Amino acid sequence: MKRKIAVLGGGISGYGSAILAKKKGFDVFLSDKGKIADKFKARLEEWNVEYEEGQHTEERILDAGEVIKSPGIPDSAPIVVKLHERGIPIISEIEFAGRYKGVAKTICITGSNGKTTTTSLIYKIMVDAGRKVSLGGNIGESFAYSIATDKYFWHVLELSSFQLDGCFKFKADIGVLTNITPDHLDRYDYKLENYARSKMRITQNQGATDYFIFSADDDTTQQMLTEMDDDLRAHQLPFAINTAIASGDGDAILEGHTFTATVGKKSVTIDTRKMKIEGMHNVYNAMSAALATLAAGVDPKVIKRSIYEFSPVEHRLEPAGKLNDIEWINDSKATNVDSVWYALESMKRPTVWIAGGTDKGNDYTPLKEFARRKVKALICMGVDNAKLKREFSDIVPVIRDCNSFEEAMAAAREEAREGDTVLLSPACASFDLFKNYEERGRMFKDWVAKNILSK
């Protein structure tokens, strides 16, 4: 009799898990309470995977021996509560796919901010080095689908805390933690320590031949490392701009405009002025990428060339256009306060800041000094802007309350003058007005192209 697996969620993570389970001989049933995209349904049908949408048939799901849950489904969902009550194991796609990766190695990147840029940069370096490598996790293709359909020697994975929560035996051969700042606290009882513990799961199961790369400048990370004490067995590779560090295994340190990353006997030196990605946050990202790829055995010359060639990631401080000396920047991926901190930190001109959406328990205090000095107008874009208006009412001279995308963009155009920057950097999730941050970013760029650049 075939072992039964249920998959909750029919997005990238879900369909990939279902196809891999089918290939491995499981009796698979995929269930999505919402609508499954046509392209994903086509792949499920191609592999003869049974699925449903618009409902959860509980008797089918609760009959499974194991459940693979998509990261966007919270533990508070009724079907998940019932699974826990029955004692049915719930795992993530990453945990499931890791069982079948064979001798392939993983470079896993997590963190509150910078993980998409860091993951994309690591992937580029690995590709440029001629490695057979997949890109998965939160970006790229499903990790499970990549394992089901091809043989890779390396998997570069961007992992969220939700994905790590569903990992138990999975191991990162090279783990990267960019930073830990408040994010998604609504899923962690509004306690930073709970969220931080989830992020530190990037180190679980690592042994003496593995690597853990982290920011020595990040106080929360350092606190978690102190608590772990002797539990961490991997080689530790810290990177820092503000902290004096020295590690026998290797490290990356910025001096002036140059940083040197060292792992063992190999090192690479980068002049940050030659990088296409700007801002101090991207210096951190490049440091961690250099350490990860040195640890993976990539030639330092390849690393240097790739870092200098690398262009900004879509939706992360991405230039959307410039006319009449007004620049428009798409930072839609900045869905938390710390991401916006880095965005505002990098602003060199008077800024019209578009923010708002679904608040995740944000504390806006870290942004207030930058807002006071740099933001000339705050455009609140969301269904409920009360908290944003209250937090910045005495800090930003002009605040516009907008309940739609079109209204917000029109207000931004009215407020912007020659020499200004219009920055979309929401600090919030997109789900009140958009499907996701990608849709929000694309709509921003399309509006600028149509209403600004074509005039």
Q: What is the pLDDT of residues 225-239, one digit of tens each?
A: 988 877 889 999 999
DSSP-assigned letters across all residues of 261-313: EEETTEEEEEEGGG-SS-SHHHHHHHHHHHHHHHHTT--HHHHHHHHHHPPPP
- Backbone angles phi and psi of 172, in degrees to 5: -90, 120
How big is the CA angle at 113 (ends 110 and 117), to the nearest 5 degrees? Answer: 80
- CATH superfamily name and code, 4-91: NAD(P)-binding Rossmann-like Domain (3.40.50.720)
How big is the CA angle at 96 (ends 95 and 101), to the nearest 5 degrees? Answer: 95
Distance of CA 17 to the CA centre of its chain: 20
Task: Indicate the SS3 state at residue 64.
Answer: coil
Task: Indicate the SS3 state at residue 61.
Answer: helix
CB contact at 8 A, 414 and 422: no
Q: Work out the mean pLDDT of the chain and round it to a whole number.
A: 92
Which token pair is 171? 């191991």
35-48: pLDDT as tens digits: 888 888 999 999 99
pLDDT at res. 340: 87
The one-letter amino acid code at 291 reads L
Q: Tell me the angle at which helices 219-228 and 192-199 cross, rounded to the nearest 10 degrees.
A: 70
Decide: residue 394, CB within 10 A, 0-12 exposed, 13-18 middle, 19+ buried.
exposed
Q: pTM to 2 decimals?
A: 0.77
**Where are the chain's structural domains?**
4-91, 95-309, 318-453
Decide: residue 314, CB within 10 A, 0-12 exposed, 13-18 middle, 19+ buried.
middle
Number of other CB atoms surrounding residue 292 within 10 Å = 29
CB contact at 8 A, 182 and 161: no
Q: Rounded mean pLDDT of 95-100?
A: 97
CATH class entry, domain 318-453: alpha beta
Q: Rounded mean pLDDT of 111-138?
A: 93
CATH of domain 95-309: 3.40.1190.10
Q: Higher pLDDT residue, 430 or 285?
A: 285
Per-residue pLDDT band for 257 (boundaries 50, 70, 90) equals: very high
389-444: pLDDT as tens digits: 999 999 999 999 999 999 999 999 999 999 999 999 998 887 778 989 999 999 99
Does residue 97 register a pLDDT over 80?
yes
The one-letter amino acid code at 220 reads T
CB contact at 8 A, 92 and 166: yes
> How far apart are alpha carbons 126 and 119 in whole angstroms?
11
